[in-house]
A and B are shown apart, each in its own frame.
Chain A
């Protein structure tokens, strides 16, 4: 398989960021966006094509994970009983 081109890597980067923004949980969303940015930035100067391909493959697997996790509706739908429904922060 030919080594990934710069354009492919950038496409992958954009796709991962796009998918990460769909996480409904704030902490997962911010972590995914931040981690993806930092990981791509850190590996910016890798020259070895074998290593690049390994990194790209891992990124594609992670993209799959993000997509699958977004497909699972993990948002709290049934509020636990006994907890008041008004937003806590608005009481400040």
Chain B
């Protein structure tokens, strides 16, 4: 029978049920015992999984998280009252290429390692170290299975940027006839185009050239297999796949062996390729994110494709002179880059202030230059300045897409009304034929 989760009632009424994991450490907090009983009664008797898989609920106490200094409410209300958090409105989030929110399943996997099982995974002499190491190796297995690799080929780093640097550093100076390394982004973060990785891999392996790919935007979203695609090095980023920030991984092929040089020297952790204590909570989060991504890939892809179709169709139907940047055939649906002619991109972004959007890559957004990607695909300067990137992710809803579309159409129309270029176009003047005078 399923229990209500009102803490006070539960504390009084719940009989102490025998928990399935009696080997887990008990620390003697009264409330924790109640919580254990409460949640133990809902864990099925057959689920005897090791505690670090997140099934044993003992790691929580209600008191740890009763943080609401502003409102002074003392009990985490899980009753039927409507959630109060949304009384403060924040913009819709449509910028998943920049970063993604944590999936609740990922946070659930991480919390034990932030609160209870806080050992250093490189400590060899006590249980804290052993359990932390076991969690780290389990996470390594989860990452490896997402890309078809062997766990020994995964090195944890602080993110895809560090992974990229490790991959490129030594190989640039390796002695090879012409090229020593080909490095390609699997899915472009600005226009969403998918590169023909399998073909490139085949060519590289036949010419004996190392092939590195930055798969930060692709891992967990499209199927990737390092053996099918003959990838030698791959960079993975945690926070692009609903995992935590500050962690990533690099895949380094073992057969045939790819040699890389370490960027940072120290205690020789991670087979000497990346010294520094491995942050167990973060890598557990990365592993959980990879496992969730593997399970959800098909469902997410179908849904995101549908939403992307909806967004582009609605916008293109209501507005003329909108160009989608990037090859429509080889395209990851969750990243839509549209150029609205005769509208300046920054002013459109400012107008759409209750939707979190971006006009180009977050890592280069500080500069005012138009995106190098758009320039490279041959977009006109003026269209490159008017591009907006819409990001659709696992948690994006249909309402959010509809709201974004509606606001976008409204503001583009409004900005075009104000634009003298638009007026000239309406009057039939060909803008390319105008000779702008120079002062």
**Interface of A with B (CB < 8 Å)?**
1, 11, 15, 19, 22-32, 34-35, 38, 57, 60-73, 75-79, 85, 87-92
Complex Cα spacing A26 to B71, Å: 20
**Interface of B with A (CB < 8 Å)?**
2, 5, 39, 42-47, 54-55, 57, 60, 62, 65-71, 76, 78, 83-86, 88-91, 93, 101, 104-105, 107-108, 111, 299, 353-354, 394-397
A38 to chain B: closest CB distance in Å? 7
A65 to chain B: closest CB distance in Å? 5
Complex Cα spacing A1 to B70, Å: 48
A17 to chain B: closest CB distance in Å? 12
Q: Is the CB of A22 within 8 A of B57?
A: no
Q: Is the CB of B47 within 8 A of A87?
A: no
Q: Is the CB of B397 within 8 A of A24?
A: no
A sample of 18 more A-B contacts (CB under 8 A), given A34-B397, A67-B5, A92-B354, is: A15-B2, A27-B395, A27-B396, A32-B104, A38-B299, A57-B46, A57-B47, A63-B42, A64-B43, A65-B104, A68-B39, A68-B57, A71-B5, A71-B76, A72-B76, A77-B70, A78-B69, A79-B88
Grouping DSSP codes into helix (H, G, I), strand (E, B) and loop, the A interface class, with mixed when no group exceeds half, is helix
> What residues on B are CB-neighbors of A73 within 8 Å?
65-68, 76
Complex Cα spacing A37 to B5, Å: 22
Q: Is the CB of A71 within 8 A of B89?
A: no
Q: Is the CB of A31 within 8 A of B394?
A: yes
Grouping DSSP codes into helix (H, G, I), strand (E, B) and loop, the B interface class, with mixed when no group exceeds half, is loop
Greatest chain B CB density within 10 A among A15, A27, A30, A92 is at A27
Q: Is the CB of A70 within 8 A of B78?
A: yes
How many pairs of A and B residues are in contact by the CB < 8 Å rule? 114
* Contact A61/B5 with A67-B42, A79-B88 known, Cβ cut-off 8 Å: no
Within the complex, which residue of A28, A62, A72, A92 is in contact with B395, where a contact is CB–CB below 8 Å? A28
Q: Is the CB of A89 within 8 A of B69?
A: no
A46 to chain B: closest CB distance in Å? 16
> What residues on B are CB-neighbors of A31 within 8 Å?
394-395
Complex Cα spacing A90 to B208, Å: 60
* Contact A27/B93 with A22-B78, A65-B105, A77-B68 known, Cβ cut-off 8 Å: yes
> What residues on A are CB-neighbors of B88 within 8 Å?
76, 79, 85, 87
Q: Is the CB of A26 within 8 A of B43?
A: no
> What residues on B are CB-neighbors of A91 within 8 Å?
353
Complex Cα spacing A2 to B102, Å: 36
B38 to chain A: closest CB distance in Å? 9
